[in-house]
């Protein structure tokens, strides 16, 4: 099913912290090709021993990521098993997660954000064509491969990371924290992910990107989870962008009625028309679209 990598061929370097159910390290992978030794910088994601029972789901994510290839999809080299350690070996991305980058770089332009949103739409479309549902799209799971350099005409470049453990395996509390990225219908039926769920998450992620990585509905005081639950119960919407066309697109994606969520083709068309009219967005919109 998937490529396995010998534990002995992995070198572990510094810790990069923790994911939801993982410990994350920088490292190196060694290959022997044509009698020659090659080393590749990698990211090692070790499944938390407390979630050992989820290894199948974790490896399922690794498996689909390693079987398909797209320029905006993170490359997964394979998995490694050693004793009770389950490790996903993936491409190391220099500039890390997009949510942190957005928070750090406060003055990213509207065209930067649109460009990144278009790249996400591109990989979303690819996944749908392959009949693959991601299930965990958010800015944290977008990685920045290349920074923008306007003086050299270089645009930013992102890749979508793996979804991790399937939502169907997660506890209610974890699911609640995924509001508003998780589609509302998934609360009742977490084992019934659809392409429409990814469309909702796409909308929430675009909102997040244009709001400089500030997580929607976070810091809503003590009763955060309760408020989040109410948010869905009352069919509320995130505060709309002042940029009407963008607000429209996010609103369509985050529609409580699945039938109103747009096709990937429509998403791409709308984003492209935003780019052209983006030239007309007055400068005082920049940085405070919301």
Q: Is residue 143 close enough to count as binding ligand ATP by CB under 6 A? A: yes
State which of residues 57, 86, 115, 141 lies at the interface with ligand ATP (CB under 6 A).
Answer: 141
Report the residue number, 21 or 207, with the smaller CB distance to ligand ATP.
21
Residue 166 interacts with Mg ion (CB under 5 A)? no
Choosing among Mg ion, ligand ATP, none, which partner's interface includes residue 91 (Cβ < 5 to 8 Å by kind)?
ligand ATP
Give me the count of residues in the chain: 290
Stretch of 18-26, 181-189, 235-243, 256-264 contacting ligand ATP, by CB under 6 A: 18-26
Based on the shown chain and the rule CB under 6 A, indicate whether residue 164 belongs to the binding site for ligand ATP.
Answer: yes
**In sequence order, which ranges of the chain are alpha helices (DSSP H)?**
55-67, 98-104, 110-129, 172-177, 184-188, 195-210, 224-233, 244-253, 264-278
83 binds, among Mg ion, ligand ATP, none (CB under 5 to 8 A by kind): none
3-state SS string for 141-153: HEEEEECCEHHHC
Q: Which long-range contacts (CB under 8 A, 24 or more apart) does 273-277 make?
A: 273/245, 274/114, 274/243, 274/245, 274/246, 274/249, 275/111, 275/114, 275/118, 277/245
What does 89 interact with, of Mg ion, ligand ATP, none (CB < 5 to 8 A by kind)?
Answer: none
Pairwise CA distance, residues 205 & 269, whole Å: 18
> Among 20-28, 218-226, 263-271, 275-283, which window interacts with ligand ATP (CB under 6 A)?
20-28
Please identify which residue in 141, 166, 241, 255 interacts with Mg ion, judged by CB under 5 A.
141
The gap from C-alpha 80 to its chain's centroid, in whole angstroms, comes to 23
Task: Please report, as ranges, the residues that interact with ligand ATP according to CB under 6 A.
Answer: 16-17, 19-20, 22, 24, 43, 45, 74, 90-93, 96-97, 100, 136, 140-141, 143, 161, 164
């Amino acid at each position: 099913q998937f490529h396995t990598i010998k534990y002995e061929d992995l070198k572990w370097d510094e810790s990069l912290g923790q994911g939801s159910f993982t410990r994350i390290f920088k490292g190196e992978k060694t290959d022997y090709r044509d009698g020659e030794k090659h080393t590749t910088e990698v990211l090692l994601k070790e499944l938390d021993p407390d979630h050992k029972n989820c290894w199948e789901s974790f490896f399922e994510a690794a498996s689909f990521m390693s079987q398909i290839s797209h320029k905006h999809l993170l490359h997964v080299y394979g998995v490694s098993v050693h004793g009770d350690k389950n490790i996903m070996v993936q491409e190391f991305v220099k500039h890390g997660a997009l949510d942190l980058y957005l928070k750090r770089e406060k003055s990213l332009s509207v065209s930067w954000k649109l460009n990144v949103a278009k790249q996400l739409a591109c990989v979303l479309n690819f996944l749908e064509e392959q009949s693959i549902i991601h299930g965990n799209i958010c800015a944290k799971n977008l990685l920045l491969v290349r920074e923008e350099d306007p003086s050299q005409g270089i645009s930013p470049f992102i890749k979508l990371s793996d979804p991790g453990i399937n939502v169907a395996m997660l506890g209610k509390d974890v699911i609640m924290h995924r509001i508003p990225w998780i589609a509302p219908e998934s609360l009742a039926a977490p084992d019934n992910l659809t392409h429409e769920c990814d469309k909702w998450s796409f909308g929430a992620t675009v909102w997040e990107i244009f709001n400089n990585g500030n997580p929607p509905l976070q810091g809503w005081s003590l009763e955060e989870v309760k408020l989040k639950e109410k948010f869905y119960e009352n069919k509320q919407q995130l505060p709309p962008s002042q940029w009407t066309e963008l607000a429209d697109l996010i609103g369509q994606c985050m529609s409580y009625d699945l039938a109103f969520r747009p096709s990937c083709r429509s998403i791409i068309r709308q984003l492209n028309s935003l780019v052209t009219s983006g030239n007309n967005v007055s400068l005082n919109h920049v940085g405070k679209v919301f």
